Amino acid sequence: MEADEVRFMWLMVFFDLPVKTKPQRRRASQFRQFLKKDGYMMLQLSVYARVCRGQDAVDKHIRRVRSSLPKEGSVRTLQVTDKQYGRMELMLGTAPKTEQVGPSQMVLL
């Protein structure tokens, strides 16, 4: 890879937040809204992903997630390369219309 070539990375956020009480549901909803506003797309109910341009962008978005954490629950992040993300296989159902499955990768529309 050349020095000026940018490596695209995908940042995935997985979470399990309590939703038994009204305040808990509100916090879970606020966290989802934060992710959407920050450019994440929903892959599944509690799995969101966004593309980042390089490691600095990944680090920035991890800090943003950390600063928006709800009071309780479990939140995890995972970063993968664009190539690794493109090897994700959808086994049942259909991809959301925000995703387009191509020959080598999934691309945001």
Nearest to 32 by CA among 86, 68, 82: 68
CA separation for the pair 97, 64 (Å, rounded): 26
Q: Tokens 């593309």 appear where?
A: 51
**Is residue 4 part of an annotated ligand binding site?**
no
Task: Please enumerate, by residue number, every residue annotated as part of a binding site for Mg(2+).
Answer: 16
Task: Please enumerate, by residue number, every residue annotated as part of a binding site.
Answer: 16
